[in-house]
Structure 1
Amino acid sequence: MQVVFTDGSPASVAELDEALQDALDGGEPLLPLDPRHPQVESLREAMAPGEPIEPDTAVIIPTSGSTGEAKGVLLSASALLASARATHARLGGPGRWLLATPANYVGGLQVLTRARLAGVDPVTLDIADGFDPDAFTAATRQLRDAPGPYADGPYYTALVPTQLARLLAAGPEAVEAAAAYDAIVLGGARLDDELSRRAADAGVRAVSSYGMSETASGCVYDGIPLEGVSVRLGDRDRIELAGPMLSHGYRLRPDLTSGAFTADGWLRTSDVGALYDDGTLAVLGRLDDMLNTGGVKVPAAGVEAALTAHPQVRAACVVALPDAEWGERIAAVIVPEPAATDADDPAGSGAEGQRSEALEEELRALVRDRLGRAAVPKLVRQLPELPLIGPGKVDRAAVRAVFDD
């Protein structure tokens, strides 16, 4: 097993890219890790690098979800390549790719796979110290100006919604850079309607993707399954997926494998969905994020969508807290848009607190109008950013801890 550490810098990504190509060509399987991850050593140990590797494995994607349990998703070269081919087929054919997300996660890793499948070198945005819109703009120019195949496009990149929001707020040059792409694939978190509208108004083609490590990245784009992907709803409207890009199990965990993958080749996800007559899939939220307050079931994603529809809210996360009377209380953490400074407001006047209370009342009214009284958060907290557990993935356990005091 090749264990490759990448911190998002171009040099470390180049090393990972080389190891990935070797793995795709039938060489030693790859285990990508971020040395900055707080559990990097425990993740590495859990993947047991010295033990024999499961057959037909090219890449092992380690995950440590909200439960904290380390799992290794096994992906074959054929699964990774099937995903890359289906992506190109949906977006408009092979082209140039900018890597702007961590390559140790499947979304970033697949950007490298797609670039190699297209026969071009990927351009890597240095994200070792975080995402910077100015650096993204410069990397976009590099992507477009480089000699070689697909000089006239198409141009692609993959981002998480937070990155897109920062680009749209960064000024005309960053917006122009984002609009230069034939498609920006959004993954890692839900693309809310307001951000999607803002992107469209700016001339940015944002493609919402749904998928996971077990599907070798996104396999449903804008609600429509990629070529070769099948979708059905199981018990409790659980989303189930099948297709050539599916993982063949979990590293050294046959128990988890048999629980998630059916004998006839379907993956049971942890997500709840709805399927419409035209084949479009709507992802409503996770099974464990369906809230039950006073006997009424409320989708956390629906409440979050209502909160982020307010122009003063940049992001939101909704969780359930135990409650003796209601069974569960709905609680929300929001990230407000930066407020304009009021030069006439004297220090200590309390105006900021009044604005905060007014915003929270507006949000409660907005949720009530859209989803009914049961869905209204009983507690609201404001944070400068949502805690994350991966690229764009909110750490809901950390959000719940906000309300411990």
Structure 2
Amino acid sequence: MARLIALEVSADPRAAGAVRDRWEAGDAILPLDPTAPRTELDALLSALRPDRIATLDDPAGRSLPAPLPTADGTALVVATSGSTGTPKGVELTDAALAASTSGSLARLRCQDGEIWRVPLPLHHVAGLTALRRGWALGTDPDAVAPGDLDALLAPGADRVAVVPTQLHRWLDRDAAAGPRRVLLGGAAASTELLARAAAAGIEVTTSYGMTETCGGCVYDGRALDGVEVEVAEDGRIRVRGAVRFAGYRGDPAASAAVLDDEGWFTSGDLGRLEADGRLTVLGRIDDVVISGGENVPLSVVVTALRSHPDVADAAAIGRPDPEWGEVVHAVVVPRDGAHPPTLAALRAHVRGRHPAAFAPRAVTVVDALPRDAMGKATRAALRAALGEPG
């Protein structure tokens, strides 16, 4: 059996080397965010029960009590968000990560010797898979702190993996700087952002995936080689192929709920397959508001809000309503703080594109959206910012 090592990783330059050393030693890694609250880390360790915990300053670490067994071939266990309950550990094998790496490099037409810059957190699967792409090309990836814009835009890298928030800030700072080839994921990208990048001569490939698929497994709407994607009758996106996870650590019931006997993983995302076979992602199934009996995907509302000329960024949540059941509440960042868009203007803009139920019934103007390290404005963070319980 393999050993699972809980390893605290950060923006420290030693982190990438520590990860590689563990893998070369045959260990599996449970990456930890050292900036997370101690109570969160303790809950994660209690739920996932690794063999040891180590840090960059203490690579030997110490043993932990009553570890769960770890199957041979396991390379990575990534904790899902514990904001709605006990965290789950997504088990990824070395074979799955290798399939993800080879499929990504082939689709992107990468060349040996190219250098990947990695300004993504290494406790997320996206940061770790970006490291593996660099190593597969025979180079040392350039891992930098996610918030260090100067390091992101410095010369010396050929490719970079970023989230939309980072690309926004990059283009606002200096569109002529930075690598010219970008893998964009972690959250939905607006058409405006993609157009700005294209105008700056930046080649952007959008990716869709999740921890359970070793991160991005669909590029620009098309599945990587060796990956199958379909949309179930209830609208959920399903994925099958070598990149799929093995199961949730120590939780066979949770694994069985999303993995079937034919190898399909049923995600919590809604999607649509277009006539040309491309996948359009409509958002999380739990981010659908039912207003007046109509299903309203909040991601569609957000896309419409962001297309308003006076909106720099936007999010949306559902709120209870005695008449409609639920209504849409918009949260917007205005382009001009002195002249934010009115609720009436936003409603008219959305109604010009979608049914009336999609139009927000309330709006809150903020200076910036609360986003996590992967650029996502989570529902809990939005509610907290509005002074509501999560």
TM-score (norm: length of structure 2): 0.89
SS at match of 1:190: coil
Distance (Å, rounded) in 2 between the aligned partners of 1:231 and 1:309: 29
Q: Is the 8 A contact 1:304 1:316 kept in 2?
A: yes
Distance (Å, rounded) in 1 between the aligned partners of 2:171 and 2:153: 12
Tell me what 1:375 maps to.
358
Tell me what 1:42 maps to.
43
What's the offset of the Cα at 1:301? Answer: 0.9
Q: Which amino acid aligns with 1:80?
A: L
Q: Deviations over 1:131-150 (max 9, x none)?
A: 13222222xx133xxxxxxx
Find out whether 1:104 has 2:123 as its counterpart.
Answer: yes
Distance (Å, rounded) in 2 between the aligned partners of 1:237 and 1:303: 18
SS at match of 2:248: coil
Distance (Å, rounded) in 2 between the aligned partners of 1:211 and 1:233: 14
What's the offset of the Cα at 1:223? Answer: 0.4
Q: Is the 8 A contact 2:213 2:245 kept in 1?
A: yes
What's the offset of the Cα at 1:390? Answer: 4.4
Question: Judging changes above 3 Å, is the alpha-carbon distance between structure 1 residues 389 and 166 closer, same or farther for their aligned structure 2 residues?
Answer: closer
Among 377, 385, 389, the alignment partner of 1:394 is: 377
Find out whether 1:83 has 2:100 as its counterpart.
Answer: yes
Q: Which amino acid aligns with 1:199?
A: A
Q: Which amino acid aligns with 1:222?
A: D
Tell me what 1:29 maps to.
28
Among 131, 137, 142, the alignment partner of 2:156 is: 142
Question: Judging changes above 3 Å, is the alpha-carbon distance between structure 1 residues 361 and 13 closer, same or farther for their aligned structure 2 residues?
Answer: farther
Tell me what 1:67 maps to.
84
Among 148, 151, 168, the alignment partner of 1:132 is: 148
What's the offset of the Cα at 1:66? Answer: 4.6
Tell me what 2:271 maps to.
273
What's the offset of the Cα at 1:16? Answer: 2.4
What's the offset of the Cα at 1:403? Answer: 5.8
Q: Is the 8 A contact 1:272 1:283 kept in 2?
A: yes
Q: Is the 8 A contact 1:100 1:158 kept in 2?
A: yes
Tell me what 1:244 maps to.
242
Q: Is the 8 A contact 2:68 2:250 kept in 1?
A: no
Distance (Å, rounded) in 2 between the aligned partners of 1:400 and 1:326: 20
Distance (Å, rounded) in 2 between the aligned partners of 1:66 and 1:366: 33
SS at match of 2:80: strand
Find out whether 1:219 has 2:202 as its counterpart.
Answer: no
Question: Judging changes above 3 Å, is the alpha-carbon distance between structure 1 residues 34 and 219 closer, same or farther for their aligned structure 2 residues?
Answer: same
**% identical aligned pairs:** 39
Distance (Å, rounded) in 2 between the aligned partners of 1:84 and 1:32: 19
What's the offset of the Cα at 1:290? Answer: 1.6
What's the offset of the Cα at 1:54? Answer: 3.3
Find out whether 1:54 has 2:53 as its counterpart.
Answer: no
Distance (Å, rounded) in 1 between the aligned partners of 2:177 and 2:134: 19
Q: Which amino acid aligns with 1:82?
A: A
Q: How many pairs align?
A: 365
Q: Is the 8 A contact 2:118 2:160 kept in 1?
A: yes
What's the offset of the Cα at 1:361? Answer: 3.1
Find out whether 1:116 has 2:119 as its counterpart.
Answer: no
Find out whether 1:157 has 2:156 as its counterpart.
Answer: no
TM-score (norm: length of structure 1): 0.86
Distance (Å, rounded) in 1 between the aligned partners of 2:18 and 2:310: 42
Q: Which amino acid aligns with 2:357?
A: A
Q: Deviations over 1:351-388 (max 9, x none)?
A: x3xx23x4443222211111132211111112222223
Q: Is the 8 A contact 1:321 1:400 kept in 2?
A: no
Q: Is the 8 A contact 2:91 2:248 kept in 1?
A: yes
Distance (Å, rounded) in 1 between the aligned partners of 2:307 and 2:294: 23
Distance (Å, rounded) in 1 between the aligned partners of 2:358 and 2:102: 41
SS at match of 1:177: coil
Q: Deviations over 1:164-184 (max 9, x none)?
A: 00000013xxx2223x33x21
Question: Judging changes above 3 Å, is the alpha-carbon distance between structure 1 residues 32 and 193 closer, same or farther for their aligned structure 2 residues?
Answer: same
Q: Deviations over 1:209-237 (max 9, x none)?
A: 00011000100011011111101111311
